[in-house]
Amino acid sequence: MPQPSPSPPQPPNQALHGLAIRDARAEDMGAVEEIDARITGLAKHDYWRHAFTRYGGRADRWFLVAEHAGRVIGFIVGEQRAWEFGSPPCGWIFAIGVAPDRRLGGIGSRLFEAIVARMGAAGLETLRTMLARDDTLNMAFFRSQGMMGGPFIQLEMPLPGALPQPRREQGQPEPPLQPEKGREGP
């Protein structure tokens, strides 16, 4: 039997009754940070506060959370991007996370469907995202929702004089929006 590429099977959660998908609030950031830290092994306190300031409750930006029994158990963040190398306005998802103990209960799908509905209501017709090549778990998730390889290719290079950057872990969101205080240097 081949080893499956995504994470090993776990007992599925029951479908969650009373699961609510709603706009994130400032007071949710502690839970969001905790979920992200459990997934990536890296706490990013300032990152999530900045992310909420930039994406929470803004036009053309969506920061949603999944709440069950008074507890935030998942989040998804996206925005509208336009005219990057000729790309007409489209929706972008750049972060998604579900508490590891609540996976396989359809929470990620509910978050995904909710942000897709918001983007569709905003008149967008295409959804994009960018993932690490070895992030099989998230890539399999997005493909299971119907996403496929698109017409753009991501390219990168080290900038002159830059020190080598540590490789990002699976599921880790993009680097901080602004350097965190005291962490400006390598």
> What does the binding site for another protein look like in residue numbers (CB under 8 A)?
1-6, 9, 133-134, 136, 139-140, 143-144, 146, 148-149
Alpha carbon distance 90, 45 (integer Å): 29
**Nearer of residues 53 and 144 to another protein, judged by Cβ:** 144
Of the pair 4, 175, the CB lying nearest another protein is at 4
Nearer of residues 38 and 143 to another protein, judged by Cβ? 143
d(CA 176, CA 44): 8
Cβ closest to another protein, residue 56 vs residue 91? 91
User: Is residue 36 helix, strand or coil?
Assistant: helix
Using left for φ > 0, alpha for ψ between -120 and 50, and beta otherwise, residue 123 falls in left
Minimal distance in Å, beta carbon 94 to another protein?
A: 18
CB of 143 to another protein, least distance (A): 5
**From the CB of 110, what's the least distance to another protein, in Å?**
17
C-beta of 9: minimal distance to another protein in Å? 6
Structure tokens at 124: 């967008």
Residues contacting residue 37 through CB under 8 Å, at least 6 positions apart: 43, 44
Task: Tell me how far apart the alpha carbons of residues 126 and 90 are, in angstroms, rounded to a whole number.
Answer: 5
Decide whether 59 or 155 has the Cβ nearer to another protein.
155
- Min separation Cβ 59 and another protein, Å: 28
Residue found under tokens 């999944």: 66
Taking the C-alpha atoms of residue 22 and residue 12, their distance in angstroms, rounded to an integer, is 24
